[in-house]
Structure 1
Amino acid sequence: MEPPVAKKATQPEEEDRLSVLMDDVLLSILRKVDISTTVRTSSLSTRWRKLPWLLPELSIDVRHFLPVPCPDSITANDCQQAMVALTKAAKCLLAKPHRQSTITTLQLKLYLISTFLSDIGPLLGDVIDSGLLKDLDLCLLDDLKPGDSSELHMIQLAKDMYGFFNVYPSVFGCLTRLSLHGVCFIELDMHHLLFDCCTQLKHLSLHYCDAGRRSVWKIDAPDSKLSVLEIDTCCFERIELVCLPELEKLHWDTWVSEYIPLLFGDVPSLGELKLSSALTYYNTVFKLSELLHGTTSIHTLTLDFQGENLWIQPEMKQLCTAFNKLRKLTLRGIFVEFDIIWTTAFLEAAPSMEILIIEVWDHACSAFVNDEERMSVFAERKNPHWEMDFHCSKNGLLKELQFVGFRSLEQQFAFIRALLDRAPNLQTILLKGAEQCKYCDALDTKSCCSTESSFPKSEDEQELVVRRITDGKSSPRMM
């Protein structure tokens, strides 16, 4: 057995190995670990002791303090204990005298529990007032699952958040990114809080939020710096973007509306738009050209139908104005048994399109217990029927087609062959199998397709696919 003296002799050697590394190298190591590990490293050696307080970017996430492995159901006690640990870590990293260097960005994710906001608020206020924090990325989480949260609970969360900002107004000065979960603004002035008060806000995300059932959210903020707006499963009847001059990206996932869900006014910078929703009995079908009216700069568009009927009406030339600058179009969640030829209508409307991505929906999503439950929400799927003019001009700029969820189905071969006729300069066709479903976390779920066709895996199967597509003609590179 090695004598104790020999063990002690190795400690300076280990410390010397660390001491030869530059601070930048050690800090790059710390950036790759969670905040609890970062705090613990300060006890490794004298070389590491000061490093956590030199990190220019900090990420303090309450979810890193939950039990490991994380349970399927997080209890109120789990949230409370996680917030206790987060508060200790925040005090350690933000409070004086340790913190003397500037934090360029602080990412702070915490549960919106009022008893802990009185501890976090002074820490943020001090570091902001001292000029040590430039940008704050704040995420306020709900400790309840969306389905378990009542309207009274959501209203109380909004009041707690509003009270927090009122007591510590300096937070507004560096709040550049804000993410809210499960908040109801029915008793508060939503526009005043998010745009009149949060004057530095550039990125706003709302998850399961509303301002009262079926409310209209009107945004008229000519002085706003907001460039990214993300809406996820929020109960707005409609969002009216009257004026958001610096808005570049808008993502809206899941809406329930009897009208066109979006109206655009002055949004000159809007270049990326993503709309994702399933058509339910409570939604209306609308013309995409009417929704896009007022936009002039969209270059990237994603439409996701989540495996149900289309929520857009047949159009072609009416889309030319809105699609004038479109470079990349993604059409997702198309039911696998649907004809896909209708998607070629967008080639005529978007003469500048360079990349087209098609993704088909090919499984029985376990978000519903059975077909009967699904049919209580969604109508029977009907194959889209668009009157197509196959003598339209060709698209000479389309360079790449990506097809996700490809199977050896005749309607898919017919679509690709039609696309080859319409896009003579197509250079690459990328065929992919089904991807992970984000709604039910399934990949190899039982297919909802009545045929037995599958993604070609063997070399012989892939060669057969190429022959069926090209019919012996020269073709783009296929992957």
Structure 2
Amino acid sequence: MPPHQQQLEDEDRLSALPDDILLSILGRVSLRAAASTCVLSTRWTHLPWLLPELSIDVKEFLSGPCRDPAEENDMEQAMASLEKATRSFLAKPRKGSSISRLRLQLYLINTFLCDIGSLIGDAANSGLLKDFDLAILDETDPLDRSEEEMIQRAQEMDGFFTAYPTVLCSLTRLCLHNVCFGKLDINHILSDCCKQLKHLSLFHSDTGDRTPCKIDAPNSELSVLQITTCRFERLELVCLPKLERLEWDTWVSVYAPLSLGFVPSLGELKLSYGRAAYHRGFKLSEVLDGATSIHTLTLDFQGENLWMPLEIKELYPAFKKIRKLSVSGIFVYFDIEWTIAFLEAAPSVEILVIGVWYHPCESCDDDGEGPRSTFPKRRNPQWEIDFRSSKNLLLKELQFIGFAMLDHQFTFIRALLERAPNLQTIVLKGNEQCDECDALDTPPVSLFPNEKEQEMVVKRITDGLFSPQIIFDE
């Protein structure tokens, strides 16, 4: 059979599939790629406009090659294309179908927001749009944004929402960059404006002059809150009854950055920070005071000094229900046996994740020649710990990320086996991927055991006394 005839038959087989299968295929590619399929044949013409979920990202419309970050002219052209795409998918009538979810990522350029707001508002009013995710991006480096500019962005965003209130009725997820809430009350947004909002992400934002951010929204539906590199002096969650997950990454406070009030549903908490020399540290028990429903806790030190003293008895009220505990970002040459002490405070832990930090790129400056001086000197903590009562009968799995066959790592694993008789599985993983490390001209020698070394690792861990399943995952 000639190649061209075989190709036609293959295409016919694909076109013969029912709509639901073809829509499932289109849902796995970008919206631009999905829209381009309508030119393949008349069979595909109507399909992109039946997709139940749409994701329209302004960055997909940036003409290449363009600078990173994009310049103002490139952003305006991308927004013009995004406005046309949005109109194409929202203004065209659908036969018996609705949009179950729209993800829209755009730039805050007023020239195009009026048309976009009108389209989304009409779609929400007509019942076409059920669920709306909005991300307002910013290409400007946060350090180059003045406080006045961040306030202006907040005012423009508020003006957009005020002009199109029906947009807020369907808004369930909101992501903001470089916004100052000094004059824009975040509680007003959560309680009065975005009444259906369930997921809020804030990047490089603040409340003005490093003041505390207080959230008191008893009627809010918010279940997920992500705070990343925001300049709040302190985050005070006075009342968020439906909050289930909180991620707080990089704070500026020299004291405890977080205060938890009435958060009865909070089950997942992640605290991540890597500039420990710039604040005085804090007791974790003080931050977690009143949080008694946490089942998943992640502490990430990002390879720097540990920003908390080790305390056990004070942590028990907050730790007693934890099922998964992750202690990540521990500098690779730091002692890690102290983490076993958490087993006493968290007797219900079933999965323990230990992640060590090893990044060869840190040994080079931006020119790849000398050592970096970004971070202060690391200090290995010296804690005297009594492990006699640190038993855990429920621990079933250890995940060790960044395993490097160092003596103190073997000592830790053996000590854990002695204190967790039901430990069944040990997963040893390689170092987490890092683009900067991969970009080095001379790739670093891997410290993860190769196939020949893995047998030795198993023998050294078990030594004929223990029999856990050991899985190597590079």
Q: TM-score, normalising length from structure 2?
A: 0.91
1:216: Cα distance to partner?
A: 0.6
Of the candidates 406, 417, 422, which is equivalent to residue 425 of structure 1? 422
Which residue in 2 is equivalent to 1:322? 318
Say which of 437, 442, 452 aligns to 2:437: 442
Flag the 1:102–1:392 CA change in 2: closer, same or farther, 3 A.
same
1:209 to 205, 210, 226: 205
Aligned to 1:402: 399
Q: Residue 15 and residue 205 in structure 1: after superposition, are their counterparts in 2 closer, same or farther (change >3 A)?
A: same
CA distance change for structure 1 residues 472 and 92 in 2, over 3 Å: closer, same or farther? Answer: same
Equivalents in 2 of 1:301, 1:112: separation in Å? 35
* 1:99-110 mapped onto 2 (5 Å cutoff): 101-110=97-106
**1:177 corresponding residue in structure 2:** 173
- The one-letter code sitting in structure 2 at the alignment partner of 1:295 is A
Q: 1:13 to 1:334 in 2, by over 3 A?
A: closer
Whether 2:334 is the aligned partner of 1:338: answer yes
Aligned-partner SS, 2:279: coil
Structure 1 window deviating more from structure 2 (62-71 vs 12-21): it is: 12-21
Quote the residue 1:373 is aligned against: 373
Amino acid at match of 2:386: D
2:119 & 2:206 partners in 1: Cα distance?
A: 30
Counterpart mapping for 1:67-466 below 5 A: 67-68=63-64, 71-97=67-93, 101-366=97-362, 369=366, 371=371, 373-374=373-374, 378-437=375-434, 441-443=436-438, 454-459=447-452, 461-466=453-458
Partner Cα distance (1:356, 1:227) in 2: 25
Task: Give the Å deviation of 1:372.
Answer: 5.8
Q: Using the TM superposition, give the Cα deviation of residue 111 of structure 1 relative to its aligned residue in structure 2, in angstroms.
A: 1.0
TM-score (structure 1 length as normaliser): 0.90
Structure 1: distance between partners of 2:78 and 2:308: 44
Deviation at 1:212, TM superposition (A): 1.1
CA deviation string 1:14-63 (max 9, x = no partner): 98656532111221122122112222223333222222221111111111
**In structure 2, C-alpha distance between the alignment counterparts of 1:336 and 1:12, rounded to whole Å:** 57
AA partner of residue 419 (structure 1): L
Contact 1:207–1:234 (CA under 8 A) maintained in structure 2: yes
- SS for the counterpart of 1:338 is coil
- The count of corresponding residues between Structure 1 and Structure 2 is 464
Shift of 1:288: 0.8
Q: Percent identity?
A: 60
Q: Decide which of 461, 464, 472 is 2:464's aligned counterpart.
A: 472
Deviations 1:382-437 (A, max 9, x none): 11122211211521110111111111211111111111111111101111221113
Partner of 1:54: 50
SS of match in other structure, 1:103: coil
Contact 2:54 2:99 in 1 (8 A): yes
User: What is the CA–CA distance in structure 2 between the aligned matches of 1:23 and 1:345, rounded to whole Å?
Assistant: 56
Q: CA deviation at 1:441?
A: 3.8
Instruction: Report how far residue 476 of structure 1 moved.
Output: 0.9
Deviation at 1:96, TM superposition (A): 3.9
Contact 1:53–1:99 (8 Å) recurs in 2: no
Q: 1:318 to 1:41 in 2, by over 3 A?
A: same
Equivalent residue of 1:295, what SS? coil
Structure 1: how far apart are the matches of 2:440 and 2:354?
A: 20
Once the two structures are superposed, what CA deviation does each residue of 1:173-206 show, in whole Å capped at 9, x if it has no partner? 1101111111112232222123321110001011
Q: Comparing 95-104 with 246-255, which one deviates more in the overlay? A: 95-104
Structure 1, unaligned stretches of length 5 or more? none
Cα deviation code 1:441-461 (max 9, x no counterpart): 4358699x9xx99222132x2
User: Any conservation in 2 of the 1:364–1:446 contact (CA below 8 Å)?
Assistant: no
Contact 1:62-1:111 within 8 A present in 2 as well:
yes
* CA contact 2:248–2:271 (8 Å) conserved in 1: yes
SS in 2 for 1:320: helix
Preserved contact between residue 190 and residue 220 of structure 2 (Cα < 8 Å): no
Where in structure 2 are there 5+ consecutive unaligned residues?
none
Please say which of residues 62-71 and 240-249 is displaced more in the overlay. Answer: 62-71
SS at 2:398 equivalent = strand
8 Å Cα contact 2:340-2:390 kept in structure 1:
no
Q: Aligned partners of 1:340, 1:19: CA distance in 2, in Å?
A: 57
Larger deviation, residues 50-59 vs 98-107 = 98-107
User: CA separation of 1:49/1:230 partners in 2, compared to 1, >3 Å: closer, same or farther?
Assistant: same
Shift of the alpha carbon at 1:255? 0.8
Deviations 1:295-320 (Å, cap 9, x if unpaired)? 01101011100111001111112211
SS in 1 for 2:131: strand
Cα deviation, residue 149, structure 1: 2.6
Give 1:37's match in structure 2, choosing from 12, 28, 33: 33
Q: Deviations over 1:332-386 (max 9, x none)?
A: 1101111111101101111110111111111244596464632xxx432111122
> Quick check: 1:257–1:284 contact (8 Å CA) kept in 2?
no
- 2: CA distance, partners of 1:134 / 1:226: 17
Please state how far the C-alpha of 1:229 moved relative to its aligned partner: 0.5
Q: Deviations over 1:130-161 (max 9, x none)?
A: 11111101111013233333323222211111
Distance 1:352 1:47 in 2: 56
Are residues 45 and 314 of structure 1, via their aligned partners in 2, closer, same or farther at CA, if it must alter by over 3 Å? same
Further displaced range: 136-145 or 182-191: 182-191
CA distance 1:159–1:60, shift in 2 (3 Å): same
Provide the rounded CA distance (Å) in 1 between the counterparts of 2:14 and 2:432. 43
Structure 1: how far apart are the matches of 2:324 and 2:406? 25
Compare 15-24 and 46-55 and name the one that shifted more: 15-24
How far apart, in 1, do the equivalents of 2:207 and 2:253 lie? Answer: 15
SS class of match (2:309): coil
In 1, the alpha carbon distance for the partners of 2:398 and 2:106 equals 42
Following superposition, the deviation at residue 82 of structure 1 comes to 1.1
